[in-house]
Structure 1
Amino acid sequence: MVARTDRTTDTGLQEELLQARRGTAFFARKLNELTGADLDGDSLLPGWTRRHITAHIGYNARAIARLVEWAATGVETPMYPSPEARNQEISFGSTLPPIALRNLFDHSAVHLSVEWRDLPEAAWSHEVRTAQGRTVPASETVWMRTREVWIHAVDLDNGATFNDIPAPVLERLLKDITGAWKTRRTDQGLVVKVADSGLTFGDTTSASPTVVSGPLAAIVEWAAGRGNGGVTATGPGVGANGTVPAAPTWI
């Protein structure tokens, strides 16, 4: 029997789907390395255990699948009824037995992948609305999932680092993050430079900016609020002992 494949023939979208599925597989590997007792341990996100991370990733797949179904059918199906409902869902999911929590992740990931696979070519341009209220084409759901699985695989605190994230994903993450700063004008007086790449973001018109620089993975880790290892800073925003300033809030 011939295996079913994605209906889209857009090569760029096919590559994005591959990165999303690779990220899902990477998250699955880091999750499967954890015992049931390990799931009770803290994640890298304050106030969240590894259980919360796993529940969030599982329910996030279901929520994104609802957007794909919206694009396919034209029937409005929001990601979540409300922010409160989303938070309650994650809180409940974190209390599930380990096997149920793992099944939530596995089954929801397969469901989302199938929804993507079966979405007709024309439907990828249909507009849907994210939980933040943004109106985007259905193709954006692939990136929404990609960044979730790669970043939260690191947040499981099970050995994954930003160095494990593919460079194209890191670059797009950095553009997203710095773009959010620019929209909110929280990057005033701040310049971000990626070493050996020529990539520069932030307030390049400032006469005396604080300049944060480092390798791509380290810069994205810092920008995403996950640490500042391997990053250096110069300028007025640097602490008295050379401390790298905290990145502006992303989300």
Structure 2
Amino acid sequence: MTHTLPDFPRDASAVREATDRLLVSAGKLDDEAIAEPSLLPHWTRGHVLAHLSRNADALTNLLTWARTAVRTPMYASDTARDADIERDAGRSLAAHLEDLRESAARFDAAARALPEEGRAYEVEMRNGVVERAGRLALRRLAEVELHHVDLGVGHTLDQLLPVFVDGYLDLLATVKFAGHKELPTLELHTEDGRHWRTGGGAPGAAPVVVTGAAAELVGWLTGRSDGGQLDSAGSPLPAVPPL
């Protein structure tokens, strides 16, 4: 049982809502707090915010590619991506907030400009992942929602937007981890009766059945939770490969 993954224009408002919530949380910080560690190893909160701004521009590049059919790389290179994040991480809170707003506005404008026929156009993301343009809003929503958690400002898994949780859990199960050889076969069950099979275990092997709230499943599969709130019927939870 799966959900239809969100496309444009239906979830564009969810990206805006998630961005507004992120800006409210970040706006309560100060320059000193921005320089403190985030929940991501080796990254300060400034690194997280800088990444979010540059990711908005990177996804805008892909939307432009889908609209014009002229190849526009997501990032100039991995080295350039990392250098941009490092360059911008130490800025003031005011500079981060301005960049977040402006880059989000550019993404939103590009999303609105994508014609209906462009939603099926395939573009290449970082690391060679091929994605439909109509699913880039979900990809952006994932960046905003998960990195809001990573800021370590009290935004928790149970505060994730339901449209994100439903869409991203479906994407993780049917795209990201489907057939993944480093993950045994899983049968994911939400408390409201939905279920997915994913992973790449040996043919015929009994799946590990994991049940819990959809947000907790997303948290575990994305490395934001140890899965302590999930029920695996006595079986140990397997290690989940990094995204």
Alignment root-mean-square deviation, CA: 2.4
Deviation string 1:197-239 (CA, Å, 9 cap, x unpaired) is: 2324336976554333221111211111111342233344x2x
On the 8 A contact 2:178/2:198 being kept in 1, the answer is: yes
Which residue matches 2:38?
A: 43
Is the aligned partner of 1:106 residue 2:101? yes
Which residue matches 2:91?
A: 96
Q: 1:164 aligns with which of 159, 178, 181?
A: 159
| Structure 1 portions without partners, runs of 5+ | 1-10, 239-244
On the 8 A contact 1:213/1:233 being kept in 2, the answer is: yes
Is the aligned partner of 1:24 residue 2:19? yes
- Give the 3-state SS of the residue equivalent to 1:128 in structure 2: strand
Change (3 A) 1:123 1:219: closer
Distance 2:169 2:160 in 1: 12
On the 8 A contact 2:191/2:211 being kept in 1, the answer is: yes
Change (3 A) 1:176 1:12: closer
Which residue matches 2:181?
A: 185
Is the aligned partner of 1:201 residue 2:197? yes
Change (3 A) 1:183 1:84: farther
Distance 1:84 1:212 in 2: 38
Deviation at 1:98, TM superposition (A): 2.5
Is the aligned partner of 1:124 residue 2:123? no
Structure 1: 4+ residue segments shifted above 4 A: 203-209
| Structure 2 portions without partners, runs of 5+ | 1-5
Using CA pairs under 8 Å that are at least 6 residues apart, name the structure with larger relative contact order, 1 or 2: 2
Deviation at 1:96, TM superposition (A): 2.1
Change (3 A) 1:40 1:143: same
Change (3 A) 1:101 1:168: closer
TM, length-normalised to structure 1: 0.83
Deviation at 1:12, TM superposition (A): 5.7
On the 8 A contact 2:47/2:86 being kept in 1, the answer is: yes
On the 8 A contact 1:80/1:86 being kept in 2, the answer is: yes
On the 8 A contact 1:224/1:247 being kept in 2, the answer is: no
On the 8 A contact 2:187/2:195 being kept in 1, the answer is: no
Deviation at 1:62, TM superposition (A): 0.7
Distance 1:103 1:112 in 2: 14
Distance 1:212 1:132 in 2: 29
Which residue matches 2:213?
A: 215
Q: Which amino acid aligns with 1:201?
A: R
Which residue matches 2:240?
A: 248
Deviation at 1:132, TM superposition (A): 2.6
On the 8 A contact 2:189/2:196 being kept in 1, the answer is: yes
| Aligned length in residues | 234
Is the aligned partner of 1:34 residue 2:29? yes
Distance 1:222 1:75 in 2: 37
Moved more, 49-58 or 197-206: 197-206
Which is greater in Rg? 1
Distance 1:219 1:163 in 2: 11
Deviation at 1:189, TM superposition (A): 4.6
On the 8 A contact 2:34/2:44 being kept in 1, the answer is: yes
Q: Which amino acid aligns with 1:182?
A: A
Change (3 A) 1:135 1:209: closer
Change (3 A) 1:154 1:206: farther
TM, length-normalised to structure 2: 0.85
